Chains A and B, each alone.
Chain A
Amino acid sequence: MKELIAKAKELLMNKEVDLLIGYQSAGEKKAKPLLIKNPDDADKLVFNEYCLSNLVTYLNRPDIKALSKVAVVAKGCDIRAIVVLLSENQLVREKIFIIGMTCDHVMSPDGTEENIKCSYCKVRNPHLADVVIGAPIDERISKETVVRHEDIEEFNKKTKEEKWNFWKEELSQCIRCYACRQVCPLCYCERCIVDFNNPQWIDTRSNPRGNFAWNIVRALHLSGRCIDCGECERVCPANIPLMLLNRSLQEEAKDKFDWEAGFDPEAQPPLTTFRKEDDEEFIR
């Protein structure tokens, strides 16, 4: 913590960055975002296993983009979002200062157990950072490991009809607050498809048709891109298991294209590239 505060002060004091985004305490076993410009405020900074928020999402804000340089406190999982944003031309690497935090795990949102996403984390040590804070941590799984999610395997045992009924039930609870979109670091469109009203492709009312359309479109827009931060599911007031959708699409991307998002900013995402040597004839 001391190291983090010292670095933050140094960055702000020397005017190396205009803004620093980190975490502050929000009571026992809780943390919340902290956006500071004054070096004196750096003392409020904390970093612990309750720092769940993916702060990268702030980097998409137009007022923050307009600043000349911004520092962000980021865990390996958060940095994967930065990598995707870099590859999608949304961030300028020189304009962000990544304070990478080594991180063994964070807790589940209710603070009772280790967050499920940490069990298959491959980036306990930041893979892209300007400074790394914290002692190196042993990775539990190697980069090459193909992660299989038990909940998805279990879910896939259901029949088509059972799956349909499951999602009908779950999505019927969506209140269309769009918290999932707002918190997602990769939902950066200035005008979301759901706000496109000429024509209104997606019904904006909270009804089964609109809820299905919205949640499925969002999942598809994240396919091959989602970096598994789990923020959408965490903030969902209706407790919809959104990561079940997102993770199964991640597995598809891994199986079909040997692709995991958020590791290499130079790599071309599979769903928007075509190779002339593709197996499929139609592409030529």
Chain B
Amino acid sequence: MARIGVFVCWCGSNIAETVNVSKASEISGNIPGVVYSVDYKYMCSDPGQTLLKNAIKEHNLTGAVVASCSPRMHEKTFRKAAKDAGMNPYMLEMANIREQCSWVHDNKDEGTDKTIDLIRMMVEKVKRNHPLEDIKIPVTKKALVIGGGVAGIQAALDIAAGGVPVVLVERESSIGGKMAALDETFPTLDCSQCILTPKMVEVSQDPLIEIMSFSEIEKVEGYVGNFKATIRKKARYVDTDLCTGCGTCWLKCPVKVTSEFEQGLGKRKAIYIPFPQAIPSRPRIDPENCLKLTKDRCGICQKVCPTKAINYDDVDRLVEVEVGAIVVTTGYKIMPVSEFPEYGGGRYKDVVTALQFERMVCASGPTLGELQRPSDGKLPETVVFVKCVGSRDPEHHHSYCSKICCMYVAKQTMLYRHKVHNGNCYVFYIDVRSNGKNYEEFVRRAQEKEGAQYIRGRVSQVYKDGEDLVVEGADTLTNSQVKIKCDLVVLATAMEAPDGIKELAQKLGISYDQNGFLTEAHPKLKPIESSTAGVFLAGCALSPRDIPDSVSEASGAAAKVLGLLSKDEMHKDGVVAFVNEATCVACQNCIRVCPFVAIQLKDICNRKGEVLRQVADVNPGLCVGCGTCTPSCPSRSIELKGFTDAELFAEINALAEL
């Protein structure tokens, strides 16, 4: 016989204001099978949980219904309390009388009636519930980090510091990401490469970290604790084991191509490393420009290579790695100037992105730090910076703020003035957002001590007047139109989600927003978790962020990974699908619809081992209990534990019969 307890929560006044909780509790006591009912101010509080535990023991309850908030909020809390009191946790159900009742109604009588209905439904369900066991799954103690920018580097280092091996996958031929291309960093003006390259070296020397550069994720299968990732190691045409990185090949290579790393401002060879501090410091051949690979001529690099590392017949290779957790740190890209013809982007060489400006002033840049404007190499005497280009512009581009532009523009005005002491620099801005440690002071320094002139307003157009560029815009503080003649225009273009991010998200089964940035599981309380267990997110993959934020998130994600992989086995919710093998006809509907590839066909054999027929078979480790399979079954032969047809039918019937 069922002995069920009903616990009606007031949630302070959240529920009690709209629901007569004592009446609800009293009437619930009369539902057949209910042997105990009570109302209490805060069921989730310590005394509330103790009340539940004591009632389970004293009244020898076989099941319990807690009528309170959404199960998303406190199901875990109450099921754990029930377990502590010796009840199978799955014999406790919650009736949501807050989100689905008190918060959406205002009539107390009707609210009370509805509450009683909701309780009645759950009592009928609990009567038919079966005790379930958690599922134990082994954990692979290895992590995969996707993206080798500063966030990925930090995550890999921190995970390895916890003793867990890491595979760090980077799409480009070197790790380092965008940070490797920056000159100095706000708000301290320390050299970006000087602080990043030691970390890159540390990664390369850590015995627990395996770098897979020039590689991409092909496929990810499995589930938390047990992922199997297939990684495409793209043809590099250089054997990285034989190569010593001596550099003879790229010195001798006759082909010069525009350098992506230099943002189109410098040249590289067809066999190249993107920048001198590249890790791994092994070149790759660009097959689109290599004479040997395009026209079967040249072959110089192979001739000069002292270790015979050049292999023109190299092909993509697929490698499989098994990992328990994944961190996605895929970063961002910035909008090219060509998207902004109104600002002369794509038309005038001297309209550049902020990232191009970084390369123009960087000591390791194409001009070795000598500031020259791209068109004629002239030292720019007047520079105009335009902020919010493509950001905060919902009509034309992106509605979001790119977050870092306010700070790096302030920095770039300083870098400029440090190079050109008498130079004029103007900044068009909408707002100055400098909410970080020492950020406001930094902007004030740019404005007050370093001579940057800030003009509040948008730029309407940039055009050419002889050799000069003219920036025309509004000064909304003086309510006037301004025209500024200058030599160089720097556009702080918006940060965007990188190419291929949607495809990657689909491979990983994680979600992304309308801008292509990955979505966190909860914006406040799970900011670095994805919607898929075991996949964590950090840095600009989520949305625009600065270096300190990216790095701290990466460390946070690493802590999550280490926490997850610290156990030898994981316990998983017992709510999984199961098949009625007597009635399954193996039509494979469930197999086709399962997004987690958790169902396969199984042979049913006789004693001689001959196959009699096939049925669907659920791998409980892979099943996440989403329930997609159950409605696909024409004969109701696959059901979800904890949500069986009998349980749900009883729940609906309790309402429908009244």
Write out, one digit per residue, whether chain A residues 254-284 have a CB within 8 A of any chain B CB (1) or not (0).
Answer: 0000000000000011001110100000001
Which stretch of B102-110, B342-350, B643-651 is in the interface? B643-651
| CB-based contact A193/B635 at 8 Å | yes
B632 at the interface (CB under 8 A from A): yes
The interface residues of chain A lying within 8 Å CB-to-CB of B511 are: 284
**Distance between Cα atoms of A273 and B505 in the complex (Å):** 19
**Distance between Cα atoms of A284 and B516 in the complex (Å):** 13
**Distance between Cα atoms of A226 and B414 in the complex (Å):** 73
The interface residues of chain A lying within 8 Å CB-to-CB of B589 are: 272
B614 at the interface (CB under 8 A from A): yes
Write out, one digit per residue, whether chain B residues 575-588 have a CB within 8 A of any chain A CB (1) or not (0).
Answer: 00000001101111
Identity of the chain A residue whose Cβ is nearest the Cβ of B511 in the assembled complex:
A284
**Distance between Cα atoms of A221 and B587 in the complex (Å):** 12
Instruction: Give, as a whole number of angstroms, the nearest-CB distance from B219 to chain A.
Output: 12
Contact residues, A183-204 vs B (CB, 8 A): 188-193, 196, 198-199, 201
Instruction: Give, as a whole number of angstroms, the nearest-CB distance from B307 to chain A.
Output: 43
Number of residues from A at the complex interface, CB < 8 A: 21
| CB-based contact A88/B635 at 8 Å | no
**Distance between Cα atoms of A199 and B595 in the complex (Å):** 27
Q: Assuming A198-B645, A201-B649, A272-B632, is B585 touching A188 (CB within 8 A)?
A: yes
B341 at the interface (CB under 8 A from A): no
Identity of the chain A residue whose Cβ is nearest the Cβ of B588 in the assembled complex:
A89
| CB-based contact B650/A199 at 8 Å | yes
A-B contact count (CB 8 A): 57
| CB-based contact B645/A193 at 8 Å | no
**Distance between Cα atoms of A273 and B595 in the complex (Å):** 10
**Distance between Cα atoms of A190 and B582 in the complex (Å):** 9
B30 at the interface (CB under 8 A from A): no
| CB-based contact A193/B634 at 8 Å | yes
| CB-based contact B505/A284 at 8 Å | yes
B619 at the interface (CB under 8 A from A): no
Among candidates B505, B506, B587, B645, residue contacting A89 with C-beta atoms closer than 8 Å? B587
**Distance between Cα atoms of A199 and B635 in the complex (Å):** 13
Q: Assuming A274-B593, A284-B506, is B583 touching A199 (CB within 8 A)?
A: no
| CB-based contact A190/B635 at 8 Å | yes
Q: Assuming A188-B585, A189-B585, is B593 touching A196 (CB within 8 A)?
A: no
B543 at the interface (CB under 8 A from A): no
Among candidates B588, B595, B635, B650, residue contacting A196 with C-beta atoms closer than 8 Å? B635
| CB-based contact B506/A276 at 8 Å | yes
A90 at the interface (CB under 8 A from B): yes
Instruction: Give, as a whole number of angstroms, the nearest-CB distance from A114 to chain B.
Output: 33
The interface residues of chain B lying within 8 Å CB-to-CB of A88 are: 587-588
B637 at the interface (CB under 8 A from A): yes
The interface residues of chain B lying within 8 Å CB-to-CB of A273 are: 592-593
Among candidates A89, A192, A198, residue contacting B614 with C-beta atoms closer than 8 Å? A89
The interface residues of chain B lying within 8 Å CB-to-CB of A268 are: 592
| CB-based contact A221/B593 at 8 Å | no
B636 at the interface (CB under 8 A from A): yes
**Distance between Cα atoms of A192 and B646 in the complex (Å):** 17
| CB-based contact B634/A90 at 8 Å | no
Identity of the chain B residue whose Cβ is nearest the Cβ of A191 in the assembled complex:
B583
Number of residues from B at the complex interface, CB < 8 A: 26
Q: Assuming A190-B583, A198-B645, A284-B505, is B635 touching A272 (CB within 8 A)?
A: no
**Distance between Cα atoms of A273 and B587 in the complex (Å):** 13
The interface residues of chain A lying within 8 Å CB-to-CB of B588 are: 88-89, 272
| CB-based contact B595/A274 at 8 Å | yes
The interface residues of chain A lying within 8 Å CB-to-CB of B601 are: 89
**Distance between Cα atoms of A193 and B593 in the complex (Å):** 19
Identity of the chain A residue whose Cβ is nearest the Cβ of B514 in the assembled complex:
A281
Identity of the chain A residue whose Cβ is nearest the Cβ of B506 in the assembled complex:
A276
Which one of B505, B506, B588 has the highest number of Cβ atoms from chain A below 10 Å of its Cβ? B588
Instruction: Give, as a whole number of angstroms, the nearest-CB distance from A273 to chain B.
Output: 5
Q: Assuming A188-B585, A189-B583, is B646 touching A198 (CB within 8 A)?
A: yes
Instruction: Give, as a whole number of angstroms, the nearest-CB distance from B634 to chain A.
Output: 5
Write out, one digit per residue, whether chain B residues 511-524 have a CB within 8 A of any chain A CB (1) or not (0).
Answer: 11000000000000
The interface residues of chain A lying within 8 Å CB-to-CB of B586 are: 89-90
Contact residues, B541-595 vs A (CB, 8 A): 582-583, 585-589, 592-593, 595
**Distance between Cα atoms of A269 and B505 in the complex (Å):** 25
| CB-based contact A190/B645 at 8 Å | no
**Distance between Cα atoms of A191 and B589 in the complex (Å):** 16
The interface residues of chain B lying within 8 Å CB-to-CB of A272 are: 588-589, 592-593, 632
Contact residues, B598-654 vs A (CB, 8 A): 601, 614, 632, 634-637, 645-646, 649-650, 653
The interface residues of chain A lying within 8 Å CB-to-CB of B585 are: 90, 188-190
Identity of the chain B residue whose Cβ is nearest the Cβ of A222 in the assembled complex:
B634
**Distance between Cα atoms of A272 and B599 in the complex (Å):** 14
The interface residues of chain A lying within 8 Å CB-to-CB of B583 are: 189-191
Instruction: Give, as a whole number of angstroms, the nearest-CB distance from A56 to chain B.
Output: 16
Identity of the chain A residue whose Cβ is nearest the Cβ of B502 in the assembled complex:
A284
Among candidates B593, B637, B645, residue contacting A191 with C-beta atoms closer than 8 Å? B637
The interface residues of chain B lying within 8 Å CB-to-CB of A274 are: 593, 595
The interface residues of chain B lying within 8 Å CB-to-CB of A190 are: 583, 585, 635
Which one of A191, A201, A268, A274 has the highest number of Cβ atoms from chain B below 10 Å of its Cβ? A191
Instruction: Give, as a whole number of angstroms, the nearest-CB distance from A186 to chain B.
Output: 10
Contact residues, B351-400 vs A (CB, 8 A): none
The interface residues of chain B lying within 8 Å CB-to-CB of A193 are: 634-636
| CB-based contact B646/A199 at 8 Å | yes
Among candidates B634, B649, B653, residue contacting A189 with C-beta atoms closer than 8 Å? B634
Q: Assuming A198-B645, A199-B646, is B635 touching A189 (CB within 8 A)?
A: yes
| CB-based contact B505/A199 at 8 Å | no
**Distance between Cα atoms of A90 and B588 in the complex (Å):** 10
**Distance between Cα atoms of A276 and B512 in the complex (Å):** 14
**Distance between Cα atoms of A87 and B612 in the complex (Å):** 19
The interface residues of chain A lying within 8 Å CB-to-CB of B582 are: 191
Contact residues, A218-277 vs B (CB, 8 A): 221, 268-269, 272-274, 276
Instruction: Give, as a whole number of angstroms, the nearest-CB distance from B215 to chain A.
Output: 22
The interface residues of chain A lying within 8 Å CB-to-CB of B653 are: 199
**Distance between Cα atoms of A269 and B587 in the complex (Å):** 12
Among candidates B505, B506, B593, B635, residue contacting A192 with C-beta atoms closer than 8 Å? B635
Among candidates B512, B637, B649, residue contacting A199 with C-beta atoms closer than 8 Å? B649
Among candidates B505, B595, B645, residue contacting A201 with C-beta atoms closer than 8 Å? B645
Identity of the chain B residue whose Cβ is nearest the Cβ of A85 in the assembled complex:
B587
Q: List 9 A-B contacts (CB under 8 A).
A: A89-B587, A89-B614, A189-B583, A198-B645, A199-B646, A199-B649, A272-B592, A273-B592, A284-B511
Taking A189-B585, A190-B583, A201-B636 as given, write out 4 further A-B residue pairs in contact, using a Cβ cutoff of 8 Å, ordered by the A residue number: A89-B614, A191-B582, A193-B635, A284-B505
A residues with a Cβ closer than 8 A to B are 88-90, 188-193, 196, 198-199, 201, 221, 268-269, 272-274, 276, 284
- CB-CB nearest 5 A-B residue pairs: A199-B649, A189-B635, A191-B583, A272-B592, A272-B589
